[in-house]
Amino acid sequence: MLLFESVGLMKTTASLNMLFFRAIGCNFLVCLGIWLATTAQDIVGKFFPSIFCVFTFVFAGFEHSIANMFILPIALFFSNEITLNSVIANILIVTLGNAFGAMIFSLLVHYGFSEKNTMLKKIDTLLIR
């Protein structure tokens, strides 16, 4: 239980800016993993990119609101230093960052594949020649 306490203390004492930007990066990778899995044709192409994206955000120390909803209440239960207010603030900021990261990814993907995007058309014409 010492592990949950130390991880929870690290998550609740981080600055709000750091939490927000870690959450953006996390959900950008989660959305990338989902997008790669849905566009793949075979099971290996679906499995490995999604697992790679999840492992990347875990090892990079990014923040995910659903993971924090599991870890932080356990840490709150076992620690005297973590308060309920810090847990709620963490979950709210990380949820907002996750939503913002998903919006950024969605906008980039939709813009990249839109008909009005001439950059992809120029790249296609260069590659065809």
Per-residue pLDDT reduced to its tens digit, 77-124 = 998 899 999 999 999 999 999 999 999 888 887 777 666 666 656 666
Q: What are phi and psi for residue 61, nearest 5 degrees? A: 85, 20
Encoded tokens for 18: 């750091």
Tokens coding 89: 């603030």
Distance CA 98, CA 104 (A): 10
Assessment of whether the complete model's pTM goes beyond 0.85: no
pLDDT (tens digit, 9 = 90+) per residue, 93-106?
Answer: 999 999 999 998 88
Tokens of 58: 């875990």
